[in-house]
Homo-oligomer: A and B are copies of this chain.
Amino acid sequence: MKNAQVTIRDLALKLGVSISTVSRALRNASNVDPEKKKHVLELAEKLHYQPNRVAQNLRIKRTNTLGVVVPQINLHFFSSVISGIQEYAATHNYGVMICQSLESLEIEQSNIQMLVANRVDGLLISLSSETDSYDHLQALLDKRIPVVLFDRVTESVHANKVIVDDHDGASKATEYLIQTGCRNIAYIGGPEHLYISNQRLKGYTDALQRNGIALDDDFVFHCHDLKNDVMSAADQLLSGNKRPDAILCLNDPVAIQVMQVFKSRNIRIPDDISIIGFTDEPVSQFIEPSLTTVSQPADEIGRVAAALFLEQMDQKDDFKPVTKVLATELLIRNSTRII
């Protein structure tokens, strides 16, 4: 950026050739005298020439950069996804700009706006928990900017998506709870409009039904605030006239909060209540008792999302959005009873 950066013009001048020859040599294009090419390359090396990507980008109308928006960078799940994206992108000569929405729709919108202004070639987005309108996403599609939604997706938008099989994960988890003898199983989920929360809820209710267990509405919670609402959900479950013997939680952080509440009330886990989370945060294997959870392949989600984007870049014209569903795995640890 500074002064002093060498340009192809400098090279051309010193070599007594035209800038187009230099340009061609650099990109080792079709027709250029091997001898001259060699000289150009050597001089470029010697002068530490670095192509100005900003200029290139303006000219070729693409940036080889992709934008990613996540709710919060320093949640292990998201940083793992980002790690996966970055690694995949790097090997395909792409850079990545990151933003975090901090669970705010407004920030999410301005993030996207900023990325678009920077003309990223595509956007990989995981929605904020607050996001319940999708105009800003639709606007991207209308501009034919490739979008891949991951993890926190919505059915309202016709874009590429990569998710894990939340329904199956929740179903397996619930099924397991039933196998271990639980019959009064509660679900503490997220906001109603959150796709993953609904899928998990559905997996849970389907498993109950398959096993002839009636769904109890008092056992289902939709938490908007993943802090306070979770606390009060846990409280309610304890003070209700029917006590659950197991709880399926939206994710590990929720599960851990619930565990803390229970511990402080001397409720034994898993003897009194079994608890299952979702995600497999690194904490979960170390907490006491270690948390049974449904693991999601975070890095893989990132890689697949990036790959999906690259595919779309190729086909562009007749592109049909796809949804990749990745498998989950039930990790049985010590927060649930044994069979």
Contacts and interface: CB of A to CB of B under 8 A. Distances in A.
A74 interface: yes
Given A48-B139, A99-B90, A74 B65 contact: no
A287 interface: yes
Given A3-B144, A4-B143, A283-B283, A80 B87 contact: no
A331 interface: no
Interface in A255-299: 256, 281-283, 286-288, 298-299
Interface string A66-108: 0000001111101110110011001000011111101000010
As for how many copies of this chain the complex holds, the number is 2
Contacts of A339: none
Nearest to A51: B117
Contact of A98 (B53, B98, B116): B98
Interface residues of A, number: 62
A83 B95 CA distance: 18
Interface string A2-27: 11110000000000000000000000
Interface of A: 1-5, 48, 50-55, 57-58, 61-63, 65, 72-76, 78-80, 82-83, 86-87, 90, 95-100, 102, 107, 111, 113-121, 139, 143-145, 256, 281-283, 286-288, 298-299
7 contacts: A2-B145, A51-B117, A73-B82, A74-B299, A76-B282, A79-B79, A86-B100
